[in-house]
Amino acid sequence: MPQQTQQQPKTTVLPALETVGLAFTYPDQRPVLREVNLTIRPGERVGIIGPNGAGKTTLFMLSCGVLKPTAGEVRLFGKPVVTGDFHPEVGMVFQNQNDQLFCPSVQDDVAFGPRNLGLSGDEVAERVREAFTVTGIGDLAERPPHHLSGGEKRLVAIAGVLAMRPKLVIYDEPTSNLDIRYRRRLINFLQNSRETLIIASHDLEFILEVCTRVVLLHGGTIKTGGNPYDILGDIYLMEEHGLERPHSLVPHAEPHHDRAGTR
């Protein structure tokens, strides 16, 4: 009688972030988000695009438990997000990095989160070293954050989030006020990031280089999503929602040459 092989049970991979029927309205205002259903898988780098007022930052605040949904639910790795609770699985880098930097030195700022987790001094020091290595800002350790450039502040804010070791990192307009050098450094860093990423940005060239999927949010609802090149390269879709195609996706006519070889 042939020996039967026992099948291994299939393991279910929980979404990194899942919103179900998510809605939110600020007091005395029109709804900001309406019936947002979004699933982000572990390891994805998802770009959230849309015009100003689309609800991107509100979606992020709900995902972190800062705001309470008017309706619907947010789950992080299968667990419901409870408003006001600390959710170590997720970290957020704010658009204005000054909102996250308040200690007398870069070292203290990056260590602030791990210290508040109740870790030992050695564990905190290891988290700080790890974050410095990943972001390449160890030489700034003793500098006061308010003396740094915009690009340096951005990397310090990122290091402070990474020191908490979140599995999901949210970036709100990460290239704002960055010069070309720091923008490229940030692109290279995020392309090699191990965490699941959600990024909102009006810098669509940046989204094109970094993200593996794009979601278009407009008027508080998800209009479409998919491959970044397909979404961002659709001229009619982009114009309909007040956006411009990335310059790299705009066809360029070849220079005209006459028979003599001159233009």
State pLDDT tens for residues 136-190: 889 999 999 989 988 889 899 999 999 999 999 999 999 887 888 888 988 998 9
pTM, rounded to two decimals: 0.86
> Given a cut of 80, is residue 258 above it in pLDDT?
no
Reduce the DSSP state of residue 46 to 3 states and report it. strand
> Given a cut of 70, is residue 254 above it in pLDDT?
no
CA distances from 231 to 52, 120, 220, 227, 244 (A): 18, 47, 18, 6, 11
Percent of all residues in the chain with a pLDDT value above 70, rounded to a whole number: 91
What distance in Å separates the CA atoms of residue 182 and residue 154, rounded to the nearest whole number?
9
Return all residues near 99 (Cβ < 8 A) that are at least 6 apart.
none
> Given a cut of 70, is residue 55 above it in pLDDT?
yes
The pLDDT of 105-133, averaged and rounded, is 92
Nearest CA to 231 among 244, 220, 252, 193? 244
> Given a cut of 80, is residue 6 above it in pLDDT?
no
> What is the CATH superfamily name and number for domain 14-85+196-245?
P-loop containing nucleotide triphosphate hydrolases (3.40.50.300)
Phi-psi region of 41 (alpha: psi -120 to 50; beta: other; left: phi over 0): beta
What distance in Å separates the CA atoms of residue 116 and residue 113, rounded to the nearest whole number?
5
Nearest CA to 190 among 217, 172, 171, 215? 171
The tens digit of pLDDT for each residue in 197-233 reads: 999 999 999 999 999 999 999 999 999 999 999 999 9
Percent of all residues in the chain with a pLDDT value above 90, rounded to a whole number: 65
196: pLDDT confidence band, cut at 50, 70 and 90? very high
Name which residue leads in pLDDT, 44 or 100. Answer: 44
> Given a cut of 90, is residue 37 above it in pLDDT?
yes
> Given a cut of 80, is residue 239 above it in pLDDT?
yes
Name which residue leads in pLDDT, 258 or 83. Answer: 83
- According to the model, what pLDDT value does residue 90 have? 95
> Given a cut of 80, is residue 12 above it in pLDDT?
no
Burial group, residue 90, by CB count within 10 angstroms (0-12, 13-18, 19+): buried
Nearest CA to 145 among 103, 193, 87, 89? 103
